[in-house]
Chain A
Amino acid sequence: MGYRPDRTERGEKEKEGKAPMNTININMEECNGCKTCYDVCFVNVFRWNGEDDKPIVAYPEDCVECNKCELNCPVGAIEVIPDYKGIYWPPVV
């Protein structure tokens, strides 16, 4: 059989206490607090830190790599690094 679900890899990562997920890096020095990332995310990955007027990457485990935050950040302060290997995919046969 050809298709190999990456359960082993995911299982190993989880045993180490590291849930596989995308990485969303924000350069907080460049961030101008415009809140666009918070608005554009259609799965609500971000929360807002009202004190500093900066985003919080609160739920990276929910990110589905649409890249809209990265594409719409007006100062280019966001980078989405998809963890393709970590995506759980169920059996197909």
Chain B
Amino acid sequence: MAELESLGKVIPTDILIIGGGIAGLSAAITAKEISPDIDVLVVDKATSGWSGKANKGGGNIAYVDPEDGADEFMQYHVHKIGCFLEDQELLRAYGEESRGNLERLESWGVHIFRNEDGSPKYVKYTEELPWRLALIDQDVTLNMLKHTKKQGTKFIDKVAIVDLLQDGDRVVGGIGFSVIDGTCYIIKAKATILANGGQNYRLMRRWNSGRGDGIAAAYRAGAQMRNAEFGNFINWIFVDSRDVCQGAEDVLYNAKGQHITKAIRPVIEADLHSKEVVAWYKEMKAGNGPVCANMAENRILNEIVPAFHSDALAVRPIATAFWDRTIGKAMAAATRPGPLQEVIPGFIGEQAPVRVDHQMATTLPGLFAVGDTSWAGSGWQGAVPPPGRMRGSGLGNAVFSGVRGGPAAAEYVSGTARAEVNPAQAEALKERMFAPLKHSAGIQPPELVRAIQDVMSPVGNSIYMRQDRLEDALSKALEIKAKLPELCAKDWQYLSACNEVKSMVTSAEMFFRASMERKESRGWYIREDYPDMDNENWLKWIIIQNKKGEMVISTEDLPIERYPVKP
């Protein structure tokens, strides 16, 4: 048996955090706040502080103000968004804690824009929504990074953690490699926090690098997954640039000049909904395409977004430059003159199913998951994929979950024994991780990335679902899965891509298997063959677990009798 040290660089720590975006940094900071003496190490595949989505997003963070009311928030959310599938206790906690989390962010060096009376400046998409969007600039994670470093947390960048190390069920760290020089890293940790995002199948560009690495690693290690079927988010995108067209859902016209969503969406809602995608699909099937967004009527893009980004509200030079540059280039690529711009539903996924309890502990001892890795797995948002028809909840949840998971991991560390890593296990994982480098010929990762995108993207497979199409899509995903051993990598960048495509296939399989199970429509989740919400049979969570290599599906009743909002 090889000595551990002969396999790679061995680094011991108390807490290993995988991913240095807003959720991972929130966890690192709050772990150190309660236990300043413990060692915290953040490992990122790119660069902590620059990675993740918070520094490329809209700069809004959803919070519930006492004026909105936690009860009203819950009623609205359960009836109109998550459709009774929420963990209502955690939902209430979000309602009660999210405003206070703004103050925590400020104490970490993040600037929250405030009025003279001290209240946060905010925007609402429509007045009726019982939550608000506070404003931050895109330097949020850089400011947090500075604070984290001051606390003594250590960082390793450009290292992709591929698998979790285990002592029995207990997770005792992670193994990965440098994408720069291929060095194998073995991190021994008493507690590990996954904070490396969700799964977007490498489709959505510009702001999303979530490839589901953490989800797949947790799955392989035996952690339970929950709500994997709510991993089918889309954005409307321009055909010309594949960039996002916000607000398209309210102004969609078919080739006959008919407005196709007015009837199902008479007023501006909290956010887009899959029902508009279904309307689009029916038009396309009926031969009424192409469908265009009438940009002259796009209120979200013409009025709400500019108000949101107005200097009069908040001067945010980094976000403004980012939006001007990226959207500016995309709009310049338009080939069609005039206000009618062809749009399509651009699949993103955002699957985030790692199951966690209220303290962000997974079902494996020593493993926690925060941010978009466990967004849906935590259950608080119900039958919706991230960002859950609640703009700003991505950042909001990242902080909400980080400030729970960080201290919980610190507490776990204080009461637990040193992590012991089995060299034979590390050796086997290392061999599997580097296998694609040893193949001189085989399949290049981009080929399988495209294959899995081809299965996930069609609306009939992933948004407007039907049993036969789901079965067909699953069998295609399994054909791709069978090809994974043939992957070859010419270097470490492509080795990382190999690991990513494996994660994508795991996510796809979970999505289709869970979707075949849920025989109803609920919230964002729409089945052509089961069009109605079925509270009699489906107030259930679908649970997925890897049992000796088999993807095992089970269901679990929601404790609805314990929850205040009932159907």
Contacts and interface: CB of A to CB of B under 8 A. Distances in A.
Contacts of B47: 39-42
A2 B454 contact: no
Contact of B291 (A2, A44, A84, A91): A2
A81 to B, nearest CB: 9
Interface in A47-93: 47, 58-59, 61-62, 64-68, 70-71, 82, 84, 87-93
A3 B285 CA distance: 12
Contact of A66 (B45, B207, B321, B450): B207
B326 A92 contact: no
A43 interface: yes
A40 B50 contact: yes
Interface of B is mostly: loop
A64 B50 contact: no
A87 B329 CA distance: 15
Contact of B206 (A39, A47, A64, A90): A64
A21 B394 CA distance: 29
Contacts of B526: none
Given A42-B52, A66-B326, A92-B345, A3 B289 contact: yes
Interface stretch (B236-244, B266-274, B396-404): B236-244
A82 B93 CA distance: 43
B415 interface: no
Interface in B283-320: 284-285, 287, 289-291, 318
Interface in B155-200: 157-158, 179-180
A62 B449 CA distance: 12
B199 to A, nearest CB: 15
Given A39-B47, A39-B50, A92-B457, A64 B205 contact: yes
Interface string A1-28: 1111000000000000000000000000
Contacts of B209: 42-43, 64
Given A47-B180, A92-B457, A70 B325 contact: yes
B158 A93 contact: no
Most chain B CB inside 10 Å of its own CB: which residue of A4, A58, A67, A87? A67
B551 interface: no
Given A2-B289, A2-B290, A92-B458, A84 B45 contact: no
Interface in B202-243: 203, 205-207, 209, 239-242
B255 interface: yes
Contact of A93 (B203, B281, B330): B281
B515 interface: no
Contacts, number: 111
A84 B287 contact: no
B98 interface: no
B237 to A, nearest CB: 8
Contacts of A65: 205-206, 326, 329
Contacts of A2: 255, 284, 289-291, 342
Nearest to B325: A67
Contacts of B242: 84, 87, 89
Contacts of A41: 46-47, 50
B51 interface: yes
Interface in B453-505: 453-454, 456-460, 493, 496
A59 B458 CA distance: 28
B344 interface: yes
Contacts of A64: 205-206, 209
Contact of A3 (B50, B157, B342, B450): B342
Most chain A CB inside 10 Å of its own CB: which residue of B242, B450, B459, B460? B242
Contacts of A47: 180
A84 B331 CA distance: 11
Nearest to A59: B493
B56 interface: yes
B530 interface: no
A19 B531 CA distance: 43
Nearest to A43: B209
Interface string B509-522: 00000000000000
A39 B158 CA distance: 9
A84 B50 contact: no
A58 to B, nearest CB: 7
Nearest to B208: A64
Interface of B: 45-47, 50-52, 55-56, 157-158, 179-180, 203, 205-207, 209, 239-242, 255, 281, 284-285, 287, 289-291, 318, 321-322, 325-326, 329-330, 333, 342, 344-347, 446, 450, 453-454, 456-460, 493, 496
> Which 9 residue pairs across A and B have the least CB separation, nearest first?
A2-B290, A2-B289, A90-B457, A64-B205, A90-B453, A84-B333, A90-B454, A84-B241, A42-B46
15 contacts: A1-B287, A2-B290, A3-B289, A3-B344, A39-B50, A39-B157, A40-B47, A42-B50, A44-B179, A64-B206, A65-B206, A66-B206, A90-B454, A92-B457, A93-B284
Given A67-B326, A90-B458, 16 more contacts: A2-B289, A2-B291, A2-B342, A3-B284, A40-B47, A42-B47, A44-B46, A62-B493, A64-B206, A84-B240, A87-B242, A89-B242, A90-B450, A90-B457, A92-B344, A92-B345
